[in-house]
Copies of this chain bind each other. A is one copy, B any other.
Amino acid sequence: MRNTVQRQIILEAVSELAIHPTAEDVYLLIAKKHPAISKATVYRNLDVATKSGEIISIGVFDGATRFDHNNTKHYHFVCESCKEIIDVPYFDLNEKLLPFPDFSINKIELTLRGICKKCNKDVAD
């Protein structure tokens, strides 16, 4: 894997956006300062970085894949009202998964859906 300028810029953009951007989000942010970087390069680099574990890809809604610069173990909460995706701290599920020895588990994806604190408050107002 070659260390290209584009690759650096793309990964920096994922970190800068922080809040689980789509490939399109990343492309749009980059395009301001680096209009020559093509969308295909953004997609390819996000894919490569996901496979190498530098970032995480999550599929939560709308079809568009989202990317997470936080590559440590954690889960996600999606607010059905404001659509915000909030990181949920990791907790261990080993004991819960003991009853399923047939599955050799490499990865656990947990997505909670509901209403976030802020949106609940809005309703109360």
Which residue numbers of A lie inside 8 Å of B, CB to CB? 59-61, 63, 77, 80, 86, 88-89, 91, 93, 96-97, 99-100, 102-117, 120
Q: How many copies does the complex hold?
A: 2
Q: Which residues of B contact A116 (CB under 8 A)?
A: 102-104
- Provided the pairs A63-B63, A88-B100, A91-B96 are in contact, do residues A112 and B105 lie with their beta carbons within 8 angstroms? yes
Q: Which residues of B contact A99 (CB under 8 A)?
A: 89, 91
Q: Are B107 and A113 in contact (CB under 8 A)?
A: yes
Q: Are A114 and B103 in contact (CB under 8 A)?
A: yes
- Provided the pairs A96-B91, A100-B88 are in contact, do residues A106 and B117 lie with their beta carbons within 8 angstroms? no
Closest chain B residue, CB of each to CB of A110? B110
- Provided the pairs A93-B96, A96-B93 are in contact, do residues A113 and B105 lie with their beta carbons within 8 angstroms? yes
Q: Are A112 and B120 in contact (CB under 8 A)?
A: no
Q: Are B104 and A114 in contact (CB under 8 A)?
A: yes
Closest chain B residue, CB of each to CB of A77? B103
Instruction: Select one of B60, B88, B91, B108 contacting A112, CB under 8 A.
Output: B108
Q: How far is the CB of A84 from chain B (nearest CB, A)?
A: 11
